[in-house]
Copies of this chain bind each other. A is one copy, B any other.
Amino acid sequence: MFADPSPKAADLLQRLKAFFDQHIYPNEERYHGEMDAFRRAGDPWQTVPLIEELKPKAREAGLWNMFLPHPYEGNGGVSNLDYAPLCEVMGRVHWSSEVFNCSAPDTGNMETIERYGTPEQKKQWLVPLLAGEIRSAFLMTEPAVASSDATNIQCSIRRDGDHYVINGRKWFSSGAGSPRCRIFIVMGKTDPDAPRHAQQSMVLVPRDTPGVTVLRHLSVFGYDDAPHGHMEVLLENVRVPVDNILLGEGRGFEIAQGRLGPGRIHHCMRSIGAAERALELMCDRLRKRIAFGKPLAEQSVWHERIAESRCLIDQARLLTLNAAWKMDTVGNKVARADIAMIKVVAPNMSCKVVDWAIQAHGGGGVSQDFWLAEAYAHQRTVRLVDGPDEVHRNAIAKLELAKGL
């Protein structure tokens, strides 16, 4: 049931870690400096020079589009199980994924176009996305309805001759704040009278289509997550050619299901990377701070939290790797309980570990001087995106209850 990592996975991981040591960790301060300068100048929605500078280096190092399960640029295709540990490393520095063209939601969008797009759609959108030249957003969640039940989605995609006319309001459209974001995948109803799971479709909507307005960003515990952001987007009589549909009318659910599995592995492994780093910071702080005559690291109340953190992290990692392995070997459908489980386990775990790390840092822990408060805000949000915990727990429970019958 257990075995050493494949030579390929070990090699990729070793090279990625080396890249982090050389190019990512030493540039964390510079990244914040560039963003702070944008903010002081009144517009954080800009392309970050550091990222653009590092992308060619990553590509050169053979660390580009690793998320792709099929061969790319001489890279033989990376399985979910082999890719997962790379996500863990990228989870340690939230802006790093983009350097390797491995950031959400572009990864999911690229996979979607790759699997379901026409040759023309691929040529127009997939090629520049794979090259890291443009970015994309996925417009699904709506402010007016409980979007965790996807059948609630109200956005209208009405056929009018050779076009679809789209009307709706979307929010938490992550990535839509970037000036490089050029293409949206929009989910909405083509046929409100069809059976519940055949009403929804997905269409490609270029961002500069008339009628598209990116209204504002939604903050996450006070953070704007610029330059990508989580945006509210208004779609008013947006017209796109019928060729822009993905896979066909009424097949939106099918696509949504297909794209979720790998994305959850990525999210969860990044959560695990964040928790690992928080635990390192926690231990580091506890060793250094003296109170009441001895380092905090000698207080058994902190031993309890360190030990619990280690136990929780290692368990979440094994569960996620196991889910990845199942996806690779028996497929997303058989692995669906496993995928739901990691979606609950990993961000809850990382929230807990990061919160303990904040506590170990005292007041500083909630401030900008440490990466922890921002990490907490992000991890807490992961418990809501792609469906809140409750939806996944219900799915797990129903599969479990069905077992005995």
Contacts and interface: CB of A to CB of B under 8 A. Distances in A.
A341 interface: yes
Contact of A322 (B303, B318, B338): B318
For this chain, the copies found in one complex come to 4
A205 interface: no
Contacts of A221: 221-223, 366, 373-374, 376-377
A281 B171 CA distance: 21
B363 A383 contact: no
A109 B184 CA distance: 54
Contacts of A218: 363-364, 366-369
A220 B39 CA distance: 17
B42 A401 contact: no
Interface in A257-304: 279-280, 283-284, 286-287, 289-292, 296-297, 299-304
Contact of A311 (B296, B341, B398): B341
B384 A359 contact: yes
Interface in A341-357: 341, 344-345, 355
A215 to B, nearest CB: 12
A291 B146 contact: yes
A301 B81 CA distance: 33
Given A81-B2, A171-B363, A221-B222, A396 B306 contact: yes
Interface string A142-175: 0101111100100000000000000000011000
Contacts of A394: 300, 303, 307
Nearest to A303: B397
B397 A311 contact: no
A221 B374 CA distance: 6
A287 B220 contact: no
Contact of A146 (B289, B325, B374): B289
Contacts of A389: 359
